[in-house]
């Protein structure tokens, strides 16, 4: 096991965090969590043996909020493992984009993986994932990474660059034209505004507004709402349900590269 690991993650609805924490806690008893979705500035220069960096897949990419924050880290002389978590459809350029961001921050990437979690817009897709089989695979991947770190520490161990699927230029980023809305059961408790990673939700007196220019449709507000009052507009939800319904019952395999 490693002495300590820092885990940088963005996880609006918890799937990415579950995958990444399962992985990181197999590597070390001491996992320092850094939530890239928090509005405050990132702590820098934490001392640790390895950085684990995890992001969800949005439209075949990683959310720009996560990419931008990762690029502000200083990975000089540090090893990293990259993880993307997606909702069964496809991860496309996301893992490549995450690795490019890590390289821009001078991290040395020693392993990468893509894992499946329940789809945060259409939960019947990949329902219940990561499941017990995923958890076993994530732990086995962590064991391979520990072995690899051991090998790299031995003198003369050869290191090769980790190659992952994806292409440049990346797929065009998703265009956001609609945001979640609050139904009449909204009590204006403000939890949604608190967790929104981009500060897109405002409460003014009895009125709640969402700024479509800031919203990234991450679903953190719908996930946290204690009244289930935060939902996608009907047409958007129905459109996604229709597009993704062929994937209900499809079991996509996880992949690892090391
Ligand atoms: C706006 C948005 C776009 C998404 N795009 C994709 C995608 O391109 N491919 C895919 O397989 N899953 C996609 N998903 C599903 C998420 O990647 C998946 O549910 C992931 O677990 C979300 O991470 P979280 O649970 O940490 O919030 C998307 C989800 C959202 C909210």
Task: Write out pLDDT tens, residues 140-190.
Answer: 999 999 999 999 988 766 778 899 999 999 999 999 999 999 999 999 999
Given a contact cutoff of 8 angstroms between Cβ atoms, the answer to whether 113 and 256 are in contact is: yes
In this prediction, residues 26-54 reach a mean pLDDT of: 88
Q: How many CB atoms lie within 10 A of CB 228?
A: 10
Q: Which residues pair with 182 in a beta bridge?
A: 230
Angle CA 99–171–24, to nearest 5: 30
For residue 85 and ligand 1, the question of a CB distance below 6 A is answered with: yes
Percentage of the chain with pLDDT > 90? 92
Given a contact cutoff of 8 angstroms between Cβ atoms, the answer to whether 201 and 192 are in contact is: yes
Judged against a pLDDT cut of 80, whether residue 42 lies above it is answered with no
For residue 80 and ligand 1, the question of a CB distance below 6 A is answered with: no
pLDDT digits (tens, 9 = 90+) for 66-122: 999 999 999 999 999 999 999 999 999 999 999 999 999 999 999 999 999 999 999
Given a contact cutoff of 8 angstroms between Cβ atoms, the answer to whether 145 and 111 are in contact is: yes
CATH C-level class of 181-239: alpha beta
**Can you list the positions of beta strands (E) in 93-168?**
108-116
What is the architecture of the domain spanning 5-168? Answer: 3-Layer(aba) Sandwich (3.40)
Mutate which of 21, 33, 119, 243 for ligand 1? The one with the most ligand atoms within 8 Å of its CB, which is 119
**pTM of the entire structure?**
0.97
Given a contact cutoff of 8 angstroms between Cβ atoms, the answer to whether 120 and 244 are in contact is: no
Domain ranges of the chain: 5-168, 181-239
């Amino acid at each position: 096991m490693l002495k300590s690991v820092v885990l940088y993650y963005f996880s609006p609805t918890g799937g990415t965090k579950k995958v990444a924490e399962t992985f990181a806690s197999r590597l070390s008893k001491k996992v320092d969590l850094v939530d890239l979705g928090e509005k405050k500035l990132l702590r820098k220069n934490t001392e640790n043996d390895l950085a684990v960096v995890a992001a969800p897949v949005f439209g075949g990419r990683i959310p720009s909020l996560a990419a931008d924050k990762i690029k502000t880290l200083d990975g000089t002389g540090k090893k990293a493992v990259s993880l993307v978590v997606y909702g069964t459809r496809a991860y496309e350029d996301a893992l490549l984009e995450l690795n490019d961001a890590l390289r821009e921050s001078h991290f040395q990437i020693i392993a990468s993986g893509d894992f499946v979690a329940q789809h945060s817009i259409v939960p019947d897709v990949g329902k219940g994932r990561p499941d017990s089989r995923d958890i076993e695979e994530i732990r086995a991947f962590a064991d391979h990474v520990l072995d690899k770190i051991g090998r790299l520490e031995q003198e003369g161990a050869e290191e090769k660059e980790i190659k992952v699927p994806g292409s440049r230029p990346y797929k065009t980023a998703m265009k956001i034209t609609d945001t979640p809305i609050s139904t009449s059961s909204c009590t204006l408790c403000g939890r949604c505004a608190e967790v929104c990673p981009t500060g897109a939700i405002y409460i003014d007196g009895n009125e709640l507004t969402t700024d479509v220019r800031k919203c990234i449709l991450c679903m953190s507000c719908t996930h946290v709402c204690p009244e289930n009052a935060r939902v996608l507009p009907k047409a958007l939800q129905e459109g996604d349900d229709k597009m993704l319904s062929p994937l209900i019952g499809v079991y996509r395999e996880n992949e690892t590269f090391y």
